[in-house]
């Protein structure tokens, strides 16, 4: 089975967490796109969807689904999103699609975070995937130097501007022994909007699409 088939399997399994009348947070990325398509087909009568990116908002609307403003929903019952890596404690690296800041806001506003991924994202430890950091353009060079002081090797992601008008710096070589601590240390650098470590707000449920079927961990 190819990766897309495994992503689709995980995405469709997440439908079981969606109930009529809910507000549902929706992530960003190719796995989440399968989830949006499944939502469009399932026609569950939810109150509406909170999108974590402009791309997701557009895809939801193209499916005829009702998009809500997070400022008007209060906390939301469930958030469904993909990841670039997940560790055994459901701590994640996200942001390959450059939407990490809004993703973390919606995930943090959600009572339940269901993470959907193909089983190649299931890792014993975080850190192989370069860590995305969203940075104000004004602070790009300063932030890069501070990331070096934290042990990382920063690379500006060329040609990418986030939905919030910022740049992405991808960082390799960081120590992920304590992801909560690293997440906080990076976010203390002035000019950093947020980083792609989801350890403080990790996932509650993992749905991995695998050649043996969907593996659910909670």
Site for ligand ABF, rule CB under 6 A: 27-32, 81-84, 94-97, 100, 103
- Whole-number minimum distance, CB 21 to ligand ABF, in Å? 25
Q: Considering beta carbons, is residue 31 or 195 the nearer one to ligand ABF? A: 31
Spell 103-124 as b/e; 16+ CB within 10 A means b: bbbbbebbebbbbbbbbebbbe
Name the active-site residue from 12, 103, 134, 183: 103
Q: Considering beta carbons, is residue 138 or 168 the nearer one to ligand ABF? A: 168
The tokens 């960082």 sit on which residue? 171
Distance CA 64, CA 149 (A): 47
- Whole-number minimum distance, CB 102 to ligand ABF, in Å? 10
Of residues 86, 106, 18, the one with CA closest to residue 36: 18
- Whole-number minimum distance, CB 149 to ligand ABF, in Å? 25
Distance CA 68, CA 42 (A): 19
- Whole-number minimum distance, CB 43 to ligand ABF, in Å? 23
Among left, alpha and beta (phi > 0; psi -120 to 50; other), residue 21 is left
Q: Considering beta carbons, is residue 32 or 73 the nearer one to ligand ABF? A: 32
Going from the C-alpha of 77 to that of each of 26, 83, 89, 106, 111, the distances in angstroms are 12, 20, 21, 11, 5
Asked if residues 17 and 78 have their Cβ atoms less than 8 Å apart, the reply is: yes
Q: Considering beta carbons, is residue 148 or 160 the nearer one to ligand ABF? A: 160
Longest dimension (CA), the chain: 50
The residue at minimum Cβ distance from ligand ABF is: 29
Residue 103 a catalytic site member? yes
- Whole-number minimum distance, CB 74 to ligand ABF, in Å? 23
Beta bridge partners of 134: 168, 194
Q: Considering beta carbons, is residue 12 or 148 the nearer one to ligand ABF? A: 12
Q: Which residues are catalytic?
A: 103
């Amino acid at each position: 089975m190819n990766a897309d088939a495994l992503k689709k399997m995980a995405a469709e399994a997440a439908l079981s967490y969606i109930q009529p009348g809910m507000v549902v947070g929706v992530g960003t990325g190719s796995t989440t796109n399968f989830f949006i398509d499944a939502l469009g087909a399932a026609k569950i009568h939810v109150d509406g969807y909170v999108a974590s990116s402009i791309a997701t908002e557009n895809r939801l609307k193209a499916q005829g689904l009702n998009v809500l403003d997070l400022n008007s929903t209060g906390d939301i019952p469930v958030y469904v999103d993909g990841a670039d890596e997940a560790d055994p404690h459901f701590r994640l690296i996200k942001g390959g699609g450059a939407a990490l800041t809004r993703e973390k806001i919606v995930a943090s506003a959600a009572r339940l975070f269901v993470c959907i991924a193909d089983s190649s994202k299931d890792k014993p430890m975080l850190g192989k995937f370069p860590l995305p950091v969203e940075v104000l353009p004004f602070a790009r060079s300063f932030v890069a130097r501070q990331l070096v002081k934290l042990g990382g090797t920063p690379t500006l992601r060329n040609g990418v501007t986030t939905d919030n008008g910022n740049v992405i710096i991808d960082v390799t070589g960081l120590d992920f022994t304590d992801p909560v601590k690293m997440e906080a240390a990076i976010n203390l650098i002035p000019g950093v909007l947020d980083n792609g470590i989801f350890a403080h707000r990790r996932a509650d449920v993992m749905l991995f699409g695998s050649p043996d079927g969907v593996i659910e961990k909670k």
